[in-house]
Amino acid sequence: MKLFSTQIIVPVDSNSVLQGALEVKHVLEEMIGKYNLGSQVSVVETGALGIYDQGVVLAVFPDDVYYGNVMPSDVEEIVTEHLLKGRVVSRLTIDRSLSSKRLVEKESGKSQQKIVLRNAGLIDPQSIDEYIARDGYGALAKALAMQPGEVIQVLTDSKLQGRGGAGFPTGLKWGMVAKEQSDEKYIVCNADEGEPGTFKDRLILEGDPHSIVEAMAIAGYATGAHVGIVYVRGEYFMSIARLKKAIKDATEYGLLGKDILGTGFQFDIEVYRGGGAYVCGEEFALLESIENKRGTPRNKPPFPPQQGLFGKPTVVNNVETFANVPPILLNGSDWFKSFGTPSSAGTKVFSLSGDIVNRGIVEAPLGITLRELIYDFGGGVKGGKHIGFIQTGGSAGTVLTDKFLDVPLDFASMKTNSVSIGSGVILVASEDVPLLPFLAEVAHFFWHESCGKCTPCREGTLQVKTIMDSLVNRTADPASLQRLGKLLTTLNDTSFCGLGQAAPLAFESALRNFPEVFDQALAESHVPEVCQEEV
Amino acid sequence: MELDNVMRPAGQAQPLSDEDKRFLRELVETNRTEHHGRLSYMDIMFELEHHYGNSLPGPVLGEVARLLGTSPAQLNGFVTFYTMLSTEPRGRHVVRVCTSGPCHVTGAPSIVAELKQLLGVELGETTSDGMFTLEASSCLGICGVSPALMIDDDAYGNLTPEDLPRILDAKRAGGAQ
């Protein structure tokens, strides 16, 4: 292995590529050649650093200097000044604490460990050697030396809950599958990230694909499964490519396949692609889709741990949930519980979007407040404006005023404070963004994404959309708010799956937190004459 | 057995050549091997769209249903469920503009309006020269650089309406080669 005195890290995740990261990297390599630095400086591609509003970012190690908004024309200056003469180009430096890798330590003060994003932005995601050098596959080796029941016990003790939105205890789920007697079992990774405003799974898959491969193999060993399937969003081309490479490399290293690490344990992973259907994030709809059917949900019970993929016992976990598994096994359940709140252990990866200064990904211990996320990490609202509204948890999440800024976010906050955490979406809208057209867009989304299997959701989402449009157009009839309230209750009570059940959240919370906006729209409405006659 | 007739949309009437049939047979067999005896219809459909110009012609689906051992109706049910697949002819390039929450808040409505204006089509329609199909999309998962859109496999972020002519022109020029 060649030793370089300086490493320059270039994030080449989807977001960075969009901002020109590949052009900058290309020029950087040219300049390193031009100034004959090829033997001292290496350029390393990594996943996202979690910084998005600073354009193309370059990080120089061991100097620990971060450059932001780097244009191809800036590169020669960085090479000649910084690399040749050791003088930092201060006009381009940015606050390195913006990088998500610093966030856990900044917040908890308890530990220097970052959990889910431990490798993202630090290693070359396409290099299995770099993953291994950072304790990669150590947890798998450790698990294989334990009894399967012991592995599940560690997870149960850790109180890890599913990160996809529902928060089901992971150890309990694995235990249910382990208990089932079956000739075949499956481990499925739900990477059909579709909740609007969520882009954390993409970052994990692009930045640290081996963590998912390793965790799925551990799940296979713990539950007695030999086949893993990752169901990835069809649009996530880079995630799919990196994952396939990780699977191939792990197989070549004997970390997947017939006789893993000489223990006789066999496990293989395949990648399936989604086709652009939000409902396929629902676990049964996802399994149907893998079975080459329309992605519609199934009746529960039986649940997937009893009868899942092809009718066999199946673990379905979100990408972020899996990414937590190897560090828990390596460091123990007490270590994991030292992060978070009594009801919710560990960290959560939040996706900050909308009118916020630093959009991007933040990993912070559960129990963090919206104020810390939006102001300390997000840098506040763009243009120094006030918050108009915040949507947390995704489109199937709550719409809040700034009165909720100090509520601690964890899996209990929906129950205690009516603030949903869902998949970790924090969408901020400034005071300039009108609420009703936004809600109408959310209504269109659910109407479009409803699979049509059950009547309450198929027809209910259409009616919600119609009422929201009439409020936006100021053609709502006087009884529409009452009708909306009833519709939302019916949707929640009677929909077949989580899509219809959770669709009302945004509207119910908006009605509760912004009643004046609805009242004003109603007061300004004129029902078209033709409709009045019908009424 | 005339499976073709069951699923033949208008304008897709020409029968399959021997070359088509060979291509389809190899495609299905390769997929079966890759998935260890199972199949992924989705992968097959993406390959077909790539091969047949962004849509799935009826006669092709009829032949593929036969090769997969499923009924044409079953396969038609599958392909019409997923928004990334289309049985209707689409343009050379598919523009998917995100309209979900984060993009909405940061300006998607003006991006959609400008795209309609520039292309002279409504959402779901194809330009008269067959170059672009404009589609609204749910969240593309690149909210860090919203508002965003994808054209074919390429994503574009931090958009303003002024960026759009350049992006479309570049695609148009690339597509004509």
Quote the CATH superfamily of domain A6-98.
Glutaredoxin (3.40.30.10)
Question: Does B85 touch chain A if contact means CB atoms closer than 8 Å?
Answer: yes
Least confident of A267-276, A451-460, A480-489, B150-159: B150-159
- Percent of chain A predicted with pLDDT > 70: 94
For residue A125, what are its two tokens? 């995601």
Residues of chain B contacting residue A292, judged by C-beta atoms under 8 Å apart: 39-42, 70, 78
Q: Tell which of A292, A351, A431, A505 to mutate to test the B interface (max B CBs under 10 Å).
A: A292
Task: Quote the number of domains for chain B.
Answer: 2
Distance between CA atoms of B42 and B45, rounded to whole angstroms?
5
Distance from CA of A434 to the nearest CA of B (A): 9
Q: Identify whether B118 is part of a domain.
A: yes
B76 shares its domain with B145:
no
Chosen domain end from B26, B59, B81: B81
Domain boundaries, chain A: 6-98, 128-337, 435-534
From A273, A438, A451, residue closest to B104, measured CB to CB: A438
pLDDT given for residue B121 in this prediction = 98
Binary contact (A444, B99; C-beta < 8 A): yes
| Interacting residues of B106 by C-beta distance below 8 A, sequence separation 6+ | A353, A354, A355, B146, B147
Distance between CA atoms of A270 and A281, rounded to whole angstroms?
18
The residue to which tokens 């993929």 are assigned: A309
Average pLDDT estimate for B66-91: 96
Distance between CA atoms of B106 and B16, rounded to whole angstroms?
47
Domain extent, residue B130, equals 93-176
The residue to which tokens 């992006």 are assigned: B167
pLDDT given for residue A55 in this prediction = 84
Asked if pLDDT for residue A488 goes beyond 70, the answer is yes
Q: Which residue of B has its CA nearest to A358?
A: B144
Q: Which residue of B has its CA nearest to A426?
A: B102
From B40, B70, B105, residue closest to A433, measured CB to CB: B105
* A305-354 residue pLDDT tens: 999 999 999 999 999 999 999 999 999 999 999 999 999 999 999 999 99
Average pLDDT estimate for A49-58: 78
pLDDT given for residue A51 in this prediction = 66
From A194, A293, A438, residue closest to B101, measured CB to CB: A438
Chosen domain end from B81, B115, B131: B81
Distance between CA atoms of A212 and A247, rounded to whole angstroms?
10
Q: What's at A22, amino acid-wise?
A: L
pLDDT given for residue A355 in this prediction = 96
Q: Identify whether B149 is part of a domain.
A: yes
Burial class (CB in 10 A: 0-12, 13-18, 19+), A226: middle
B121 shares its domain with B74:
no
Residues of chain A contacting residue B97, judged by C-beta atoms under 8 Å apart: none
pLDDT given for residue A44 in this prediction = 81
Binary contact (B36, A427; C-beta < 8 A): no
Higher model confidence: residue B37 or residue A195?
A195
B115 shares its domain with B46:
no
Q: Are A120 and A208 in contact (CB under 8 A)?
A: yes
Confidence class of residue A532 from pLDDT cuts 50, 70 and 90?
Answer: low
Q: Identify whether B160 is part of a domain.
A: yes
Q: Are A226 and A313 in contact (CB under 8 A)?
A: no
Q: Which residue of A has its CA nearest to B70?
A: A292
From A197, A272, A451, residue closest to B143, measured CB to CB: A197
Distance between CA atoms of A216 and A414, rounded to whole angstroms?
29
Binary contact (B100, A196; C-beta < 8 A): yes
Q: Identify whether B119 is part of a domain.
A: yes
Higher model confidence: residue B22 or residue A40?
B22
B32 shares its domain with B62:
yes
Average pLDDT estimate for A260-289: 96
| Interacting residues of A201 by C-beta distance below 8 A, sequence separation 6+ | A191, A193, A239, A318, A319, A320, B141
pLDDT given for residue A59 in this prediction = 87
Binary contact (B150, A197; C-beta < 8 A): no
Q: Identify whether B86 is part of a domain.
A: no
Q: Tell which of A188, A199, A320, A361 to mutate to test the B interface (max B CBs under 10 Å).
A: A199
Q: Where are the alpha helices (DSSP H) in B36-160?
A: 41-51, 58-68, 72-81, 101-105, 108-119
Asked if pLDDT for residue B96 goes beyond 90, the answer is yes
Return the CATH number of the domain spanning residue range A128-337: 3.40.50.11540
The residue to which tokens 């976010």 are assigned: A409
Query: What length is written for chain B?
Result: 177
From B43, B105, B150, residue closest to A438, measured CB to CB: B105
Distance between CA atoms of A415 and A418, rounded to whole angstroms?
6
pLDDT given for residue B175 in this prediction = 52
* A59-88 residue pLDDT tens: 888 888 889 889 999 999 998 889 888 888
Question: Does B71 touch chain A if contact means CB atoms closer than 8 Å?
Answer: no
Asked if pLDDT for residue A174 goes beyond 80, the answer is yes
The residue to which tokens 């396409």 are assigned: A126
B98 shares its domain with B65:
no
A455 to A50, A439, A452, A496: CA distances (angstroms):
41, 22, 7, 9
From A18, A197, A427, residue closest to B145, measured CB to CB: A18
Distance between CA atoms of A101 and A397, rounded to whole angstroms?
27
Considering the domain A435-534, what is its CATH architecture?
Up-down Bundle (1.20)
Binary contact (B42, A272; C-beta < 8 A): yes
Residues of chain A contacting residue B140, judged by C-beta atoms under 8 Å apart: 235
3-state secondary structure of A303: coil
Distance between CA atoms of A508 and A399, rounded to whole angstroms?
9
Looking up residue B104, the CATH number of its domain turns out to be: 3.40.30.10
Question: Does B157 touch chain A if contact means CB atoms closer than 8 Å?
Answer: yes
B97 shares its domain with B47:
no
Whole-number average pLDDT of chain A: 91
Residues of chain B contacting residue A448, judged by C-beta atoms under 8 Å apart: 138
From B81, B102, B156, residue closest to A427, measured CB to CB: B102
Asked if pLDDT for residue B85 goes beyond 50, the answer is yes
Question: Does B115 touch chain A if contact means CB atoms closer than 8 Å?
Answer: no
Q: Identify whether B88 is part of a domain.
A: no
Chosen domain end from B49, B81, B113: B81
Average pLDDT estimate for A103-126: 66
Burial class (CB in 10 A: 0-12, 13-18, 19+), B10: exposed
Q: Are A361 and B144 in contact (CB under 8 A)?
A: yes
* A463-477 residue pLDDT tens: 999 999 999 999 999
Distance between CA atoms of A357 and A374, rounded to whole angstroms?
9
Higher model confidence: residue B28 or residue A63?
B28
Distance between CA atoms of A136 and A120, rounded to whole angstroms?
13
Binary contact (A275, B158; C-beta < 8 A): no
Strand partners, B133: B94, B126
Q: What is the ipTM of this complex?
A: 0.91
Asked if pLDDT for residue A520 goes beyond 60, the answer is yes
B172 shares its domain with B97:
yes
pLDDT given for residue A96 in this prediction = 65
Binary contact (A194, B139; C-beta < 8 A): yes
Distance between CA atoms of A99 and A93, rounded to whole angstroms?
13
Q: Which helix (H) or strand (E) holds A130?
A: helix A128-133
A444 to A223, A279, B97, B101: CA distances (angstroms):
40, 14, 15, 11
Average pLDDT estimate for A367-390: 94
Asked if pLDDT for residue B36 goes beyond 90, the answer is no
Confidence class of residue A531 from pLDDT cuts 50, 70 and 90?
Answer: low
Asked if pLDDT for residue B37 goes beyond 90, the answer is no
pLDDT given for residue A98 in this prediction = 55
